Structure 1
């Protein structure tokens, strides 16, 4: 019987919480990094391309006159055609 007891490993009684917290922090850091890269690749770069394409063809004066004709500006007369 003493031989069987000596073969069993001793249980770790100290620093159990420290080891668990360390493991959780490492896994959290890895998952946050992966999620951040995924969001940047899927949404960030795609949105940059879409905004660049939009503003390549965007005419601010044309947009201003379109909104003015709808009467959405308080300081501009919607019927004034002075462009």
Structure 2
């Protein structure tokens, strides 16, 4: 009993017809999953932060703490 010869002609094209659509669908699903589980919540967190962010208050707090060398704290 001998094994049949493997069919090599057209093997790549046959495998690609099956695997390429699956790979594309999985890539789209991974992208959509990342967008809705990571990117959108991050974008919303930034928007929420900057709604109530006061840059002058933050600057004055850093100035009073002595973070900046070129700006003197008020009161000197």
- Normalised to the residue count of structure 1, the TM-score between the two structures is 0.71
Match of 2:74 in 1: 80
User: Structure 2 residue aligned with 1:28, among 23, 26, 35?
Assistant: 23
- Normalised to the residue count of structure 2, the TM-score between the two structures is 0.76
Q: 1-side partners of 2:9 and 2:30: how far apart?
A: 34
Q: CA RMSD in A?
A: 1.8
Q: 2-side partners of 1:15 and 1:52: how far apart?
A: 53
Following superposition, the deviation at residue 80 of structure 1 comes to: 2.1
Moved >6 Å (runs of 4+): none
Aligned length: 70
Q: 1-side partners of 2:26 and 2:60: how far apart?
A: 49
Q: Deviations along 1:15-48, whole A, 9 cap, x unmatched?
A: 1012223433222211110010001111111112
Gaps of at least 5 residues in structure 2 are 1-5
- Do structure 1's residue 42 and structure 2's residue 49 form an aligned pair? no
Distance 1:13 1:57, change over 3 A: same
Q: 2-side partners of 1:24 and 1:67: how far apart?
A: 57
